[in-house]
Amino acid sequence: MVSPAREVGLKRSLPEPAELANSYVEVAQRASRLLRQHIKKTARKGIWFPSDELEGARAFMDLSARLLASPYRLAQAQMAMMRDHFRLWQQTTLRLMGVPCAAVASPDQSDQRFTDEAWEENFLFDFIKQSYLISARHLHQTVARAEGLDDATQRRVNQLTRQCIDALSPTNFALTNPEVLRETARSKGKNLLKGLKNLLKDLESGDGKPRAPIAGSSAFRLGKDLAATPGKVVFQNELLQLIQYQPAGTHQCRKPLLIVPPWINKYYLLDLREDNSFVKWITRQGFTTFIISWANTDQQLSHKSFEDYLVEGTLAAIDAVEQATGEKKIDLLAYCLGGTLLVATLAWMAARRDQRAASATFLTTLIDFSEPGELAEPGALASQHRDLGATGPLAANGDPDSRAAAATSTMLHANDLIWSFVVNQYLLGKDPFPSELLFWNADATRTPATLQRFFVDNFYRANRLVQKGGIALAGVDIDVSRISLPCYFLATIEDHISPWKSCYRGAHLPRGPARFVLGGSGHIGGVVNPPSAGRHDYWTSEALPENADDFLSNAVRHPGSWWDDWLQWLLAQPDGNTLVGARHPGDHALKVIEDAPGGYVTDRPDPPAAAPSAMP
């Protein structure tokens, strides 16, 4: 608790009201002139500012009708929020009198919006922060508990409500952000003027839409700053390049490790900077590590299907790893949609009695799509399902518009990938800060339209992967229950793309021994969580009950990263500790094609080499 004297000192460190008002008047006058000039300039080009679209209006009309149909429950929710706000008033009054008191609402440990000391130490900003958190919590609870909505509508209003709540955070407004207030007084409003110029520049470059440049695009070079773990491309075909990484010591584990990333993203999310690169870390643990780098497909490859990605993708990569190492047993790891592809591949291999897969790890992977998360909502991967073509997420050439995919992912991580950028560039008037996640998110992979149609139809909409023989691929009826190898499942507790309870249901579908781990944070932060960072904990339980809530209630919380838990699990598998001499790319049947990260990640149109048949 801060002393009253400290409170007074903090108040004095904030700008005087008259000084602040004069700065805002000057900024408003100059901004008005800039806006008039910009509108005249864009009008001459035939560009107008976009009109507001009422996307989701039908869902919220349905929500309103359901809430009004139960006025007693709505009144209860309103009274609960009023009680919390009244407690906050009491707490603030006591604090002004120098009485220590506990907070009514506190931000989550992973919430980076309220890190400025004024949010905690200045009673006014603490009041604003807690008032926002109280309102946000009750609003989201009221929406989430509405009865009578169909599942799709419920997910839609939950998604849009959270986006609105994020947008209305006091950190996003100049008058309620202490850091912006200090900078405005210090620079006499020049930060806001420069921020407005930045906004107008981004509007102009986006033809009237606020499209910002890739943050830090000039600060990152693939192969130097990102995707820089030393390795070589040792195999390629039309759909992928396979990278084998240089060993970090004189010996390696006998079983190689193949990583399968999602086909809609570039692989280097798992190989960002040296200090948070999963690829770098696991290579240092002594594994012969391979990773798939998916190709940016064009119109000529728009016919490639999910079956092609199984045969020419995962199966071809497994063949190549076997040729590169001479090993008959391979550990496999996949992330997000790559995990769904891997599940189908393992079921195919089980049906054909192909036993090369020694273990499988699934990171934030959906197998059961009965509650698929927000990537399946309108405007995301499954949007515009009925007319996948030249509109919606597909470009005119028949391939998904990678910018739409990047925008979808960005909206699902708005606080980290949108609003932090808005505050930094438009309110503080700073240049874009280098963000490897924003850079990666904007660097999406073009994907065949045929693949997307199949995936949306058969998985997101019909949930056929959980049905025995629900789909047939390369002449095989897919049955996930045939998978009998050891499996490790990681989900993250704040994941909106692959909800952890949906991932948990999928962990029960293969019949081999399974370990389920629940990590902290969300879809990206919970996965890219190196042990050295010490950011997020994880939960484990030796039991795997049917109900996800029962798992969590009996799980043990561990400090640190799931990376260490997974490594111990992998080493405990048969032959997990067996070592061989270090393998270098090009040592065996496959020769080096080029240095990592390879041409596909930078979309270089090199002619691909022929792929060996994946069919035994």
Token pair 């996949």 is at which residue? 334
Q: What is the DSSP string of 569-590?
A: HHHTSTTTT-EEEPP-TTSSSS
Alpha carbon distance 435, 414 (integer Å): 14
Residue 112, CA distances (Å) to 116, 215, 338 in order: 9, 18, 29
Read off the tokens for 102. Answer: 């506990």
Tell me which residue has tokens 């922060």: 129
Active site residue 487: no
Map tokens 């990047």 to a residue. 406
Please tell me the distance from the alpha carbon of residue 116 to that of residue 170, in angstroms, as a whole number: 13
Please list, in sequence order, all residues whose beta carbon lies within 8 angstroms of the beta carbon of residue 269, skipping any fewer than 6 positions away: 261, 335, 440, 524, 527, 528
Q: What is the rounded distance in angstroms from the CA atom of residue 499 to the CA atom of residue 501?
A: 6
Q: What six digits make up the tokens of 194? A: 């420069």
Residues 554 and 69: their CA atoms lie apart, in Å, by 38
What six digits make up the tokens of 262? 């999602």
**476: nearest Cα among 342, 312, 338, 350:** 350
Instruction: Give whole-number Cα distances, 451 to 302, 373, 459, 471, in Å.
Output: 8, 20, 11, 14
Strand (E) or helix (H) holding 242: strand 240-245
Cα–Cα dist 593/236, whole Å = 8
Q: Which residues pair with 540 in a beta bridge?
A: 517, 556
Lookup result for tokens 């990590």: 519
Start-to-end Cα distance in the chain: 69
Q: Rounded to whole angstroms, how far apart are CA atoms 556 and 317?
A: 37
Active site residue: 101, 164, 336, 487, which one? 336
Between the CA of residue 91 and those of 83, 102, 177, 509, what are the distances in Å? 12, 8, 21, 50
Residues with catalytic function: 336
